Amino acid sequence: MEVMARKEEAGLGPTIRAWRERLSPAAVGVPETGRTRRATGLRREELAELAGVSVDYVVRLEQGRATAPSGQVVAALSRALRLTADEREHLYRMAGLVPPDGGPIPDDLPPGVCRVLGRLGDVAVAVFTAHWQLLCWNARWAALLGDPSATPPELRNFARERFPVGAADVRVTWWPVHVDDVDGSDLALVSDLRRATGRFPRDARLAELIRELSEGNERFARMWASGTVAGHREDRKTVEHPRVGPVAVDCDVLTDGDSELKIVILSAAPDTEAEAGFRDATTPTD
């Protein structure tokens, strides 16, 4: 019973009630009426008036009897409750709606991410945007996979690499990379792009990427039609290095929560044959 109670406290109704109860009448311009207030926050009828909905609907929302408010109602509640941008987005998602105007996909690296990258000298690491555009990489990444700087910036996109559209998307500067489960890996990438469309519904670059791949790559179009939504995860790759030969590496994808930047880390287990190959491939030669 205790677990169920905690779960309910995190739902749509209890969250709206918590936001209502924390908001003082003075903060939203509700005049004093002389009535004794038993609660420190807004009354339900006051929230209803501010949001332009009925008191009964506010009651049903808070009691969990109304669970799918419209976008118009959610927008009105957000304004009435004086929600922050993060709280507003959370309210939309709890209501099963896509937050409006997710903004463009960020291309800037936060200072904290830059510091982390600078301290990952023993692994191959690169940072991609939410739509898998390569932003930056370290020396070990270039040594292991081939230097991305030789590829035109507009083609430095992981999705384009996996789902090429015509000869223009064929990369000649990156070494071949194999995964054990090609279908599963490709579907994970397509699913992650669909997830990005929910986070950034109005990003023009993402929309154009999806359009081009859907029209120009039959495999992508078929997987996109499945409607799967998930994050991208892979655990093993084999790089066909031109000097060292096959190099097996573990792949970990870390995601920055605010910008959806993807930090991709390639490494090998210590004291293994794979680590020896990784070291040989990523150590500069004279």
List the domain boundaries for the chain.
2-94, 111-282
256 falls in which pLDDT band (50, 70, 90)?
confident
Which of 57, 46, 79 is closest to 12 using CA atoms? 57
Q: What is the mean pLDDT of residues 195-204?
A: 84
CATH of domain 111-282: 3.30.450.180
132: left (phi over 0), alpha (psi -120 to 50) or beta: left
CATH of domain 2-94: 1.10.260.40
Q: What is the mean pLDDT of residues 133-158?
A: 91
Strands (E), 152-221: 177-179
pTM score > 0.85 for this model?
no
32 falls in which pLDDT band (50, 70, 90)?
low
pLDDT on residue 7: 38
Spatial distance between the Cα atoms of 223 and 218, rounded to a whole number of angstroms: 9
19: left (phi over 0), alpha (psi -120 to 50) or beta: alpha
Q: What is the mean pLDDT of residues 192-196?
A: 88
141 falls in which pLDDT band (50, 70, 90)?
very high
In percent, the amount of the chain with pLDDT more than 90 equals 37
Asked if the model's pLDDT at residue 238 lies above 90, the reply is yes
Q: Which two tokens stand for residue 163?
A: 């789902």
Q: Which two tokens stand for residue 74?
A: 């959610």
Strands (E), the chain: 124-128, 134-137, 177-179, 237-241, 245-255, 262-267
Spatial distance between the Cα atoms of 254 and 257, rounded to a whole number of angstroms: 9
